[in-house]
Amino acid sequence: MRSPFLRRGLVALALLLGGLATAPARAQNADPSFNVVNRAGRTIQELYVSSAQENAWGQDLLGRNVLQNGRSFPVRLPTGQCVNDIRVVYEGGQSEERRALDTCPLNEVVFGQGAQASPGAGKGGGAAAPGQTGNPSFNLVNRTRKTIQVLRASPSSESNWGDDRLGDAVVAPGGTFAVRLPVGECTYDIRVEYDDRAAEERRAVNLCSVSNVTFP
């Protein structure tokens, strides 16, 4: 018969081995990195990934590169940042998003398998239908010779501009900045302020029908 001390020792050893066996799996599950796979039949020109808790898309991860159909692109994220929003912009300006996606258990995020892409256009859209809702996120494109230092965008139903959506960023001449807005109202007023203190506005823009808003 085994002594109580021996039984206790065996139990402790089993618990220790069990903890060691599960440690790598836990570490692996906390890794949110993944590959974006393009199966849309067209080129992805921009890629944005940010924590679902953030209110801005940040920088285009592709930079000067593009993601051709059938290719993949690795996205590296900080350990533990599991719930993320992902946005791709295709050639021609159409975009597609995945919101609040848990990427920790995933190896790949595939675009183009029957998902609907929101239509894109040039400077501004036509007026939205009354009560129309959708995704008003857009790219601010600076085609002027001045730096945009402030961007304000608010629903046309509101009476104030709200906070600067660039934060600490600026948009240099020729630059682009991805602006993420909450899903809901489509019609927005947009105001930019330049480094020479001049300002320019667009009123009642249907952002749900465009991907890019270009100044001038």
Q: In CATH terms, are 34-111 and 133-215 the same topology?
A: yes
For the segment 45-100, what is each residue's pLDDT rounded down to a tens digit? Answer: 999 999 988 888 889 999 989 999 889 999 999 999 999 999 898 888 888 888 88
Residue 109: pLDDT above 70?
Answer: yes
Residue 21: pLDDT above 80?
Answer: no
Structure-block tokens of residue 159? 């009476």
Residue 112: pLDDT above 50?
Answer: yes
What is the Cα–Cα distance from 78 to 67, expressed in whole angstroms?
22
Average pLDDT, the chain: 80
pLDDT at 152: 95
Query: Which residues lie below 8 Å from residue 187, measured CB to CB, with a gap of 6+?
Result: 127, 128, 132, 155, 156, 157, 204, 205, 206, 207
Position of tokens 């000067």?
Answer: 64
pLDDT at 29: 62
User: In what helix (H) or strand (E) does residue 12 lie, and over which residues does it extend?
Assistant: helix 4-29
The winner for highest mean pLDDT among 93-97, 133-137, 145-149, 160-164 is 145-149
DSSP code per residue over 126-156: PPPPTT-EE---EEEEE-SSS-EEEEEEEET
Structure-block tokens of residue 179? 């602006």
Q: Topology of 34-111 in CATH?
A: Immunoglobulin-like (2.60.40)
pTM of the model: 0.48
Q: Are 198 and 146 in contact (CB under 8 A)?
A: yes
Query: Which residues lie below 8 Å from residue 129, measured CB to CB, with a gap of 6+?
Result: none
What is the Cα–Cα distance from 82 to 209, expressed in whole angstroms?
30
Query: Which residues lie below 8 Å from residue 99, measured CB to CB, with a gap of 6+?
Result: 52, 85, 183
Residue 147: pLDDT above 70?
Answer: yes
Position of tokens 């009354």?
Answer: 130
Domain ranges of the chain: 34-111, 133-215
pLDDT at 193: 94
Q: 134 pLDDT band (50/70/90 cuts)? A: confident
Average confidence (pLDDT) over 100-110: 88
State which CATH number among 3.40.718.10, 2.60.40.2890, 3.40.605.10, 3.30.230.10 fits the domain covering 133-215. 2.60.40.2890
pLDDT at 173: 94
Distances in Å between the Cα of 67 and the Cα atoms of 15, 39, 134, 144, 214 are 47, 10, 26, 28, 24
